[in-house]
Every structure is written in C-alpha cells, then in structure tokens.
Amino acid sequence: MIDGVDLGGRRVIVTGGASGIGVETARALAAAGAEVTVAVRNPAAAEPLVREVAAAPGPGSVRAAAIDLADLSSVAAFVREWQGPLDVLVANAGVMALPERRITAEGWELQLATNHLGHFALALGLHGRLRAAGSARVVVVSSGAHRGAAFDFDDPHFARRPYDRWAAYAQSKTADVLFAMGARRWLADGITANALNPGWISTNLQRHVDDATMRALGAMDDEGNIIEQPYYKTPLQGAATSVLLAASPLVDGVTGRYFEDNQEARTVADGDGEQAGGVAPHALDPHAADRLWEYAAGTVGR
C-alpha cells in the first residue's frame, strides 16, 4: 500500500496497536520511517513490537503509551502528555459482542464507549496537534457489521431497550463511519478523516464471542478448532486498508469516505449480508453525522 512512501519525520498514533491488525498497521508505518506511538491499555503488551522495530534498520520507531478509551480521565491524561504535531491518528482499538451490558464510570455502554466515544474524545483533544501538522489524517477502523444497526439517538446506551450485544457493536461501528463524515468540518484545518472495514479476520476482537456462537457462524468445529473461512483475511491483509488511508498519496485530500479492500466502498441497501460488502445509507447520512458529532461533543465534554 505504501511501497516507496517515505514517512520519515511523520508522527503517528495507533490505538490498540499491540495485537491483530493494529500491530500490523504500526509495523508497516514504522517500516516506512514513521515515529509510531502504540496507545494501549497495557503498554507491556507492545514491548515485543517496540524491540522488533528498534532492532530493524531504518529511521522508523515504535513506543508504547497507556490509554483506556473507556475512561475519559485516561484519554485526557494521554492528550496532556502528547507534545508537538500529530500527522496520523489511527482509531483502531475496539471491543466486540460483550455478552452482557456493561457501563463505564461515565454511564456509557462499553462498546460505544470504547469503539466511538473514547476515540472521539481522543481526536477532539488532539485536534490542535493534528492541525499543527498542516496535513493530517484520522483513520477510523469500522466494520461491515455497521450495516446491522443505525445509531439510536433515543437510547444509545441501551438504558431502556433490551441489550443486544450485536446491535450494540453494529451501532458503535455505524458511529465510526458517521464520525469520519462529521469530521469534514476539519478539512479547512488540513485534516482528513476516513473510515474502513478491514474484513473478516481472526483476532483478539472475538474474545467475547462464546463457542456456541462461533459454531453457529461456522467459524469453529465441534472440537473447538477455528475454521478459517475462504473470505477470511490474515491480520496483515486486514491492515492494508488502514495503511492505505494513513499514508498513501492516492487518498490525499479525500475525507468522509468509507473504504474496504483498499477501495472506496459502494453503497448497499440496509440489511444486505455482511459478506457482500459495501456501506449502508444510514452510515452516510450527513444529518445523522452532524447530530452524532453534537451528541458526542456534549457527552465527552461533560
């Protein structure tokens, strides 16, 4: 995706960059010369990558820093400690399909808190640093699961409606796409933002999915072995679109779009199967994007 691209002097943050597609994204950007900060709840988990990149030839580097996206005080502390311009923010960390409704100290449903609100607070807090870079990018890792649910402005945290782990996940991923659309207001500051679907990949993201569900999805056999489907990608392949949006000159000036398989995705009807690909109309609604931006700004600003 970035063969021949020199990222020397560029500063990058990758949340959740210690495993899965996050570690592959961080590794690729560092190999191109970037100074990468892996922002994770447990910085020790990123130490193998830190040592690997330090031992490799070239100017790229990786360091680890602590952040808990579900904790506003942790996000604020990370923002306070960041010094100087920021060229790229990759909002990669995520949680999926929590079996029971869990609420953060702020009163947020945990999937929405981690996948969207925490990243929104981080981007908002770092806006001045992104602007200072002169030409910065925000890359938001969404999912094809967004097609399963629009954003419910009446009850986003499942306070009144029955909690459904997949609906909660889908809603949070719709919010990710709407965030990228809403960030068009930052284009005058030299900041672009785009969302992406990395595809079907076996990573730690599935850690909350029980074996019965995995078998129902055809992803596990009776002995508990993972069955790799033909449409599954490796974490390295899954990171390709993140890397494209983070660093390729092919998307200079592009903002508010949704990509998959290294291309801008087509719009599909709500309810189409996830394997078919594409982006749902409810995630491209500019009114919903502006409404969500106002909601998220008010929520994280409390």
Q: Is 4 part of any domain?
A: no
Nearest CA to 289 out of 181, 174, 139 is that of 181
pLDDT, tens digit (0-9, with 9 covering 90-100), for 135-181: 999 999 999 999 999 999 999 999 999 999 999 999 999 999 999 99
Task: Check residue 208 and give its pLDDT.
Answer: 43
Structural domain count of the chain: 1
Task: Check residue 233 and give its pLDDT.
Answer: 86
Tokens describing residue 220: 């596990």
Instruction: Give me the percent of the chain exceeding a pLDDT of 70.
Output: 89
Residues 6+ apart with CB under 8 A from 280: 146, 147, 150, 174, 267, 268, 269, 270, 272
Q: Which position has the higher pLDDT, 57 or 207?
A: 57
Task: Check residue 224 and give its pLDDT.
Answer: 73
**What distance in Å separates the CA atoms of residue 19 and residue 37, rounded to the nearest whole number?**
14
Task: Check residue 219 and give its pLDDT.
Answer: 63
pLDDT at 284 over 80: yes
pLDDT, tens digit (0-9, with 9 covering 90-100), for 48-106: 999 999 999 999 999 999 999 999 999 999 999 999 999 999 999 999 989 999 999 99
Give the CATH number for residue 142. Answer: 3.40.50.720
Q: Is 6 part of any domain?
A: no
Catalogue the active-site residues: 169
The residue-averaged pLDDT of 9-34 equals: 97
Question: Mean pLDDT of all residues in the chain?
Answer: 92
pLDDT at 214 over 60: no
**What distance in Å separates the CA atoms of residue 130 and residue 122, rounded to the nearest whole number?**
11
pLDDT at 213 over 90: no
Local confidence band at 183 (pLDDT 50, 70, 90 cut-offs): very high
Task: Check residue 228 and give its pLDDT.
Answer: 67
Q: Is 176 part of any domain?
A: yes
Q: Is 3 part of any domain?
A: no
Q: Is 1 part of any domain?
A: no
Q: Is 5 part of any domain?
A: no
Task: Check residue 206 and give its pLDDT.
Answer: 45
Q: Which position has the higher pLDDT, 222 or 52?
A: 52
The residue-averaged pLDDT of 30-36 equals: 98
pTM given for the model: 0.91
User: Phi and psi of 267, rounded to 5°?
Assistant: -85, 135
Nearest CA to 123 out of 169, 62, 79 is that of 79
pLDDT at 296 over 90: yes
Task: Check residue 158 and give its pLDDT.
Answer: 98
Query: Which residues constitute the domain of residue 166?
Result: 11-299
